[in-house]
Amino acid sequence: MRDVAVVGIGMNKWGELWDKSIRDIFVEAALTAIDDAGVDMLDSMAIGCMTGGLFVGQEHLASMMADYLGYKNLAASRVESACASGGLAFRTAFIEVASGISDVVLAGGVEKMTDVSGDGATYALATAADQEYEVFHGATFPGLYALMAVAHMEKYGTTRDMLSAVAVKNHVNGSMNPNAQYPFKISVEDVNNSVMVASPLRILDCSPITDGAAAVILTTVDIARKLGKPIIKIIGSGHATDTIALHARKDLTTLNATKIAAERAFKMAGKTIKDIDFAEVHDCFTIAEIVVTESLGIFAPGKGGEAAANGETSLEGSFPINTSGGLKSKGHPVGATGIGQVVEVVKQLRGEAENGRQLKKNPKTAMTQNMGGSGGSTLVHILEVA
């Protein structure tokens, strides 16, 4: 397998993009990444999208996007693993370059979520859960994550304020991200008093419905050197699944797919969690960030909430989490989220994060963790400055 680097990144401002179609949104981000890399030829493209069918009535997305991007006839694939579709696109592109079958590959993600009416978005998202055993009986994602929150509070004494601390911290970071959907700060009181969605989760515990895209360019380290770009190497890639139905798991307070995907990525990289300087993780709900940081081994089981409340995951903390603002503040266009995480990690590793959110400690090694549904699939990647 060949060494692979990220040499270009692109994303647009995420939000409710009423004046743009899914193709506009994707092409904008993709062209930014192509420009950033300084490449003009692509060998292939992998696009993560959770459900173009249910959100905009459009499957066969990769072909359409290749055409609109000006790369007609490109070998273009769409991959899906619910909210981890972006992470899966990144891994697909990584394997393509590593294998030698392609030299320059665009990995992208896109979702246009605001064109559905009524409970259309809630239903579309629910198809990441088990239709026959969860969705049919009325389960929605806030409800499923609420079950995890209740279990975590019961087992470890995690508190309302600890959940809120996650949201507050991510909004501080997002307030410095020019691409964030909700770039404003909130207080613990704001979260604690916001409207209840599924007890104990309130609206400010939840990531929003978002239109957006992100794209990155992968190539061999050898080609990257010729391009004269900063070389951010992908040193580890881990992919694992779990039951998509929550009721089939032994324990709701940990995420096995995340644990196993991280082990696989660490094994490939020859690293441990102690070698990682910061991470972008999948905070679709505040409780998710807490459970994920524990499952990754950043904090001991049951200590993730306390760590967030103590500022350990802030920009100045011992292990900064979601410097981009995370899904909570930056937004969560589901298929694009995993690529958006890579965009932030590359910015930080290049020293290019905007508006004062650049980490001061000169980070060298970072991790992304992107998961689908209630954790039924997870992609973990480790990137390092070469």
Q: What minimum distance in Å lies between the beta carbon of 299 and a copy of itself?
A: 23
**Is residue 83 flagged as an active site residue?**
yes
Given the structure tokens 């969690």, which residue do they identify? 273
Helices 286-295 and 256-269, packing angle to 10 deg: 50
Q: What minimum distance in Å lies between the beta carbon of 46 and a copy of itself?
A: 9
**Is residue 332 flagged as an active site residue?**
yes
The site for a copy of itself (CB under 8 A) is made up of 1, 21, 44, 50-54, 56-64, 66-67, 72-82, 88, 92, 95-96, 98-101, 123-124, 127-132, 135, 239-244, 248, 256-257, 260, 264, 372-373, 376-377
Q: What minimum distance in Å lies between the beta carbon of 174 and a copy of itself?
A: 27
Q: What minimum distance in Å lies between the beta carbon of 134 and a copy of itself?
A: 11
Residue 99 has a CB neighbour count (10 Å cut-off) of 11
Q: Which is nearer to a copy of itself, 66 or 309 (CB)?
A: 66
Q: What minimum distance in Å lies between the beta carbon of 188 and a copy of itself?
A: 33
CB 201 within 8 A of CB 166: no
User: Residue 150 carries which side chain, given as an amino acid letter?
Assistant: V
Q: What is the DSSP letter of 331?
A: -
CB 242 within 8 A of CB 249: yes
Helices 286-295 and 160-174, packing angle to 10 deg: 90
**Residue 4, strand partner residues:** 220
Q: Which is nearer to a copy of itself, 82 or 163 (CB)?
A: 82
Helix (H) or strand (E) holding 149, with range, is helix 141-156
Q: Which is nearer to a copy of itself, 60 or 185 (CB)?
A: 60
Q: What minimum distance in Å lies between the beta carbon of 248 and a copy of itself?
A: 7
From the list 49, 83, 206, 284, the catalytic residue is: 83
Q: Which is nearer to a copy of itself, 11 or 50 (CB)?
A: 50
Residues 6+ apart with CB under 8 A from 338: 48, 84, 85, 86, 87, 88, 89, 90, 109, 368, 370, 379
Q: Which is nearer to a copy of itself, 80 or 277 (CB)?
A: 80
Backbone angles phi, psi at 372, to 5 degrees: -105, 145
Strand 232-241 versus strand 196-198 pairing type: unpaired
CB 267 within 8 A of CB 292: no
From the list 171, 239, 282, 332, the catalytic residue is: 332
Given the structure tokens 């004269």, which residue do they identify? 228
Three-state DSSP at 42 gives: coil
Q: Which is nearer to a copy of itself, 70 or 157 (CB)?
A: 70
Active site (catalytic) residues: 83, 332
